[in-house]
Amino acid sequence: MTYLGIMFSKRLCWTDHIKSRVHKCTYLLKKTKNLVGKKYGINPSRTMWTYEAIICPKLTYSCLVWSHSLNQTTINLLNRVQRLGLMGASQLLRSTPLAALETISENFPIRLQINTLAEATHCSTGGISFKLSQSHFR
């Protein structure tokens, strides 16, 4: 069941939602990558803007609801999207590690971005808890 762009499962497992977001963002990043070349296309600063203004908000949408369920598998999926976005914006070697890309581009790891955004949203809503239980769907 999808409601306001959030995929709910019967067990309230957020892995399907995160995989869907990762798939959509990866698709958009690959389409953006086709626009960039060494002698043509948009410059790396525009590619970075695209990543920060379009991909990151799409990836972190509703993270207040699902950030508590991040595990190593979902973090690895999110890291792949971040790496793809930062590689497109920096045009470095393919073997450049993600930590170096984050440092060069002055970005935080996606896990920290999600946790920070979830904390800020939690504080701005007055501390309302959005953790859902199975009883909400009966």
Cβ-count burial 25-44 (b if 16+ within 10 Å, e if not):
bbebbeebeeebeeeeeeee
Tell me the C-alpha distance between 102 and 132, whole Å.
33
DSSP letter string, 62-126: THHHHGGG--HHHHHHHHHHHHHHHHHHH---TT--HHHHHHHHT---HHHHHHHHHHHHHHHTT
pTM exceeds 0.85 for this model: no
Confidence at residue 137, expressed as pLDDT on a 0 to 100 scale: 46
Residue 113 reports pLDDT greater than 50 = yes
When mean pLDDT is compared across 5-9, 72-76, 79-83, the lowest value belongs to 5-9
pLDDT-derived band at 80, boundaries 50, 70, 90: very high
**pLDDT greater than 60 at residue 133:** no
Q: What is the pLDDT of residue 1?
A: 80
Contacts of residue 109, Cβ cutoff 8 Å, sequence gap at least 6: 79, 82, 98, 102
- Which pLDDT tens digit goes with each residue over 47-59? 888 889 999 999 9
Express each pLDDT in 17-69 by its tens digit: 889 999 999 999 888 877 766 677 777 888 888 889 999 999 999 888 888 88
Return the domain boundaries, the chain.
2-137
- Residue 131: what pLDDT? 57
